[in-house]
Amino acid sequence: MNVLTLFARNLLRGPVTDPYPFGPTVTQKRFRGRIEFDAASCEGCKLCERVCPSGAIKFSKDPNGLAFDCWHATCVFCGTCAFYCPTGSIRQTNDWSLAHVAADKYRMVEHGLIPNQTCVECGATTLDTAPMQSGVKPPLTAEDVATLRPLCPKCRAKFMKNRKAKK
Amino acid sequence: MSTQTALLISVLLFPGGLFALAFGLALKGADRRFAARLQGRVGPPLAQPLFDLVKLGFKRTMVPLTATNDTIFLAVPLVGLAAMLHAAAMIPIAGVTATSPALGNLLVLVYLLAIPGVVLMVAGSVSGSTYGAIGFSREMALMLAYEGPIVLVVAAVALRTGMAEGQVVTFSLAEIVRHQQVHGANLFDPVLWPAFLAFVFFYPANLGIVPFDIPEAETEVLEGPLVEYSGPALGLFKMMSAVKAVVVLGLGLALFFPVAPSGPLGLVVWAVEMLVLMLLGVTAVRVGIGRMRIDQAFAFFLKWPLLAAVASLAVVVVA
Amino acid sequence: MNILTNLKTIASRSPWLYRINAGSCNGCDVELATTALIPRWDVERLGCQYCGSPRHADIVLITGPLTRHVRDAALRLYEEIPDPKVTVAVGVCPISGGIFRESYATCAPIDQYFPVDVNIPGCPPRPQAILDGVAKAIAIWRERL
């Protein structure tokens, strides 16, 4: 376009500058931002830790259960963890406002805890994870999920074998 | 009041000194804001050049180890600013002030206009840095290119006015302005149109705006001659460049279009004319055009502006 | 003193930015250029301006995990910038190494070499996040003037 028509257009239309930080701004819905973790729906499969390219996600054994930590200062916001998560308990929000002073560097962590529980059948200490649902045919009903949840992995396997034998 | 006091006031307060500095900073602020609006952005506040100067006052001037002479390194911006303040005192504001003959005439003004260029060159070479050296050589090439046209333009206008007034030539700015106020502006004199064209090509090179801001190209030579300056010394350079804008644009107005009513209204009209010249002639040009290379600029100046200036001189002598 | 405080407030409205690319992939550098130059995210509203020479800088933006090749040059360049200055690490690479964290060629996190003041995570950070970080840096710089 001719530079003079460009000038005229810019002068007549006014500035197109986004008002941030002096006013509100628009963020796209699918923008890949900060990670959010929901411990209640996590299966404990640790796929996210395996596929994370920068090693930002770390699971660690805590006296109270399984701790989830995602350090945002090394996360590259690729979304691979959310892509591979079978239950969608780790997901990306569209929050980009992570700028912080250097003293807060190690506090930019998304922390979660899958608590310990006692198995109602055998009494072993186990994690309160969601039951694994991928590849189960026919799919688990809500009652199956409610029955499986308070069981330890050995008892869950027994239940699933019985369920397959019944069908 | 005695001539010395009058001279001191004109150099330090009005029209040189504080007035020229304040007006120059205002012009620069308007330039940055208008450039942003032309590009569709919001842009900095109008007083931004003043904020820049205050900030530079808080930083520390570091003299590099490679500087060949520390005294020259620190004295060079002072020389440039002093020359520009003196030159600003000489600019006649049509209808308001006339250049006092004790300050000098048009020839002195041309010499003073050359000083900032030389100051930049010396700053570049005394820094002892490679980028400074490149800036120094480019500034030298550019000065060689544009000094020819401006001298010839000044000579053409002086000859024309002189011959019309009955003398051979007059280098007094006051007389040139007075002649135009009586006989009409030089802008409407067809004989001086090539001179006006040469001046139009000269002032972007002198003011260091795109397409001729080669010596101070930020992205190419890390600011060229100013690469090692910081703090108040850099602030002095910014002040020099602000006053230079007033001087060069004021000179253009005085040589070609010094029409204004007298009294305070004349001052306002002059300020508005300068603002319009700045916005249309400097900002719109620097936003719309890309930067030339030094060899392109050098070749360009040795062709059209020089030809135009020589043609103007020839026509004035013959007509 | 009151005048001094007022002058410092005025001076803090003109922070000049200088960018050091310490081995970056240029993603963050492109975002920095975007924040400065394009009409949509104008950083000049805050009074900022990119300067070409390190001697003119007030806020230093460092991108990239400090690769071994560039480490000495970046350290020397950092010394050239006059005080008072504020250091901002742009992107996750300078903060922790980002995706290059376990590489033999990087020396991240850079706060072992530079006194970093503000971190802006993101790969690359959104222009609004960069503006956020620059605004925080200006607030810190105001204290140091």
**Residues A82-130 pLDDT 10s:** 999 999 899 999 999 999 999 999 999 999 999 999 999 898 899 988 8
The yes-or-no verdict on residue B215 having pLDDT over 90 is no
Average model confidence (pLDDT) across chain C: 90
Query: Encoding tokens for residue A26?
Result: 């628009």
Q: For C71-119, write each residue's pLDDT tens digit.
A: 999 999 999 888 889 999 999 999 998 889 889 999 879 989 999 999 9
Which residue has 């596929």 as its token pair? A51
* pLDDT of the residue at B218: 59
* pLDDT of the residue at A109: 93
The yes-or-no verdict on residue A157 having pLDDT over 70 is yes
Range of lowest pLDDT (A57-61, B105-109, C135-139): B105-109
The yes-or-no verdict on residue C144 having pLDDT over 80 is yes
The yes-or-no verdict on residue B217 having pLDDT over 70 is no
Q: Is the C-alpha dihedral spanning C138, C49, C89, B222 positive or negative?
A: negative
C chain contacts of residue A102, beta-carbon cutoff 8 Å: 89, 111, 116-119
* pLDDT of the residue at A1: 66
Average pLDDT over residues B156-170: 85
CB contact burial C61-83 (16+ within 10 A = b; e otherwise): bbbbbbbeebbeebeebbeebbe
CA distance B211 to chain A (A): 15
The yes-or-no verdict on residue B220 having pLDDT over 70 is no
Q: For B115-145, write each residue's pLDDT tens digit.
A: 999 999 999 899 888 888 888 888 888 888 8
The yes-or-no verdict on residue A80 having pLDDT over 90 is yes
Work out the end-to-end distance of chain C between its first and last CA atoms, rounded to an integer number of angstroms: 14
C chain contacts of residue A78, beta-carbon cutoff 8 Å: 123
List domains and CATH numbers for chain A: 28-159 (3.30.70.20)
Average pLDDT over residues B184-209: 86
* pLDDT of the residue at B219: 63
Q: What is the 3-state secondary structure (H, E, C) of A7-38?
A: HHHHHHHCCCCCCCCCCCCCCCCCCCCCEEEC
| CB atoms A7 and B43 under 8 Å | no
Complex confidence, ipTM: 0.89
Touching check for A6 and chain C: CB below 8 Å? no
CB B121 within 8 A of CB B134: no
Q: What is the 3-state secondary structure (H, E, C) of chain C?
A: CHHHHHHHHHHCCCCEEEEEECCCCCHHHHHHHHHHHCCCCCHHHHCCEECCCHHHCCEEEEECCCECCCHHHHHHHHHHCCCCCEEEEECHHHHHCHHHCCCCCECCCHHHCCCCCEEECCCCCCHHHHHHHHHHHHHHHHHHC
| CB atoms C119 and A74 under 8 Å | no
Who wins on pLDDT, B290 or B220? B290
pLDDT band with cut points at 50, 70 and 90 for residue B187: confident
* pLDDT of the residue at C82: 85
Phi, psi of C103 (to 5 degrees): -85, 150
Helix B130-165 to helix B173-183 angle (10° resolution) is 50
Rounded Cα distance between C22 and B27, Å, is 38
Average model confidence (pLDDT) across chain A: 90
Q: What pairs with residue A36 in β-bridges?
A: A91
The yes-or-no verdict on residue A69 having pLDDT over 90 is yes
Query: Encoding tokens for residue A32?
Result: 């890949």
The rounded percent of chain C whose pLDDT value lies above 90 is: 53
Rounded Cα distance between B43 and B33, Å, is 5
| CB atoms C42 and A17 under 8 Å | yes
Phi-psi region of B255 (alpha: psi -120 to 50; beta: other; left: phi over 0): alpha
The yes-or-no verdict on residue B232 having pLDDT over 70 is yes
Touching check for A15 and chain C: CB below 8 Å? yes
Average model confidence (pLDDT) across chain B: 86
Chains within contact range of chain C (3+ C-beta pairs < 8 Å): A, B
pLDDT band with cut points at 50, 70 and 90 for residue B91: confident
Rounded Cα distance between B57 and B108, Å, is 31
Phi, psi of C71 (to 5 degrees): -60, -50
Q: For C58-73, write each residue's pLDDT tens digit.
A: 999 999 999 999 999 9
* pLDDT of the residue at B210: 80
The rounded percent of chain A whose pLDDT value lies above 70 is: 99
Phi-psi region of B223 (alpha: psi -120 to 50; beta: other; left: phi over 0): left
List domains and CATH numbers for chain C: 2-144 (3.40.50.12280)
* pLDDT of the residue at B180: 85
* pLDDT of the residue at A79: 92
A chain contacts of residue C41, beta-carbon cutoff 8 Å: 17-18, 20
Residue among B276, B204, B207 at smallest CA distance from B240: B207
The yes-or-no verdict on residue B236 having pLDDT over 90 is yes
Most confident of A156-160, B212-216, B224-228: A156-160
What is residue B117's three-state secondary structure? helix
* pLDDT of the residue at B221: 64
pLDDT band with cut points at 50, 70 and 90 for residue B105: confident
C chain contacts of residue A31, beta-carbon cutoff 8 Å: 126
Q: For C2-58, write each residue's pLDDT tens digit.
A: 888 888 889 889 999 999 999 999 999 999 887 777 888 888 888 888 888 888 899
| CB atoms A74 and C135 under 8 Å | no
Kindly identify which residue of chain A lies nearest to residue B36, measuring between CA atoms: A15
CB B149 within 8 A of CB B201: yes
CB B225 within 8 A of CB B116: no
Rounded Cα distance between B264 and A137, Å, is 93
CB-CB: which of C7, C15, C39 is closest to B54? C7
Touching check for A12 and chain B: CB below 8 Å? no
